[in-house]
Amino acid sequence: MQTTLILLKPDTIERGLIGNVISRIEAKWLQIAWMKMIQLDNDIINEHYAHIADKPFFPAIVKYMQRTPVIAIAAKGKNAVLVVRSLIWATNPLDALPWTVRGDLALNIDANIIHASDSEENAEIELKRFFKGEGIFEYSRLIDEVL
């Protein structure tokens, strides 16, 4: 069982797509193990996007990520990291297949709806970053009994 970190970015909140995206995560049989809405400050954005801090588009990302609060989700399930990356698909929505989150809902790379951890190692780091000090829930659902 793995747990991965998902962020619903400001365009998801602004466009009223929260339910659409979360329903895809649930429909894939993943369990929502934690969820909260937070306004990101500069420190957490700088940490989370340290790997693109030297890119020319970084200041625009910082502004975009602070336009509204975001929704942070811990999603749990078998191979959750890879499964969610497959659900969201390519960074650039132009390269994302239809029936995926970015393929269906995003038009350009400046506002691509969602973030999801890209490896088990990063999931662990990112879950700590967004849920530090707050335990992820353990509970069972009826639908998991037939898994």
- Of the pair 35, 90, the CB lying nearest ligand GDP is at 90
Question: How many other C-beta atoms are found inside a 10 Å radius of the C-beta of residue 93?
Answer: 21
- Using the rule CB under 6 A, is 120 a contact of ligand GDP? no
Q: How far is the CB of 74 from ligand GDP (least distance, A)?
A: 17
**Residue 48 annotated to the active site:** no
- For ligand GDP, the binding residues in 5-64 under the rule CB under 6 A are 52, 57, 61
The answer to whether 109 contacts ligand GDP (rule: CB under 6 A) is yes
Q: Which residues bind ligand GDP (CB under 6 A)?
A: 52, 57, 61, 91, 109-110, 112, 115, 118
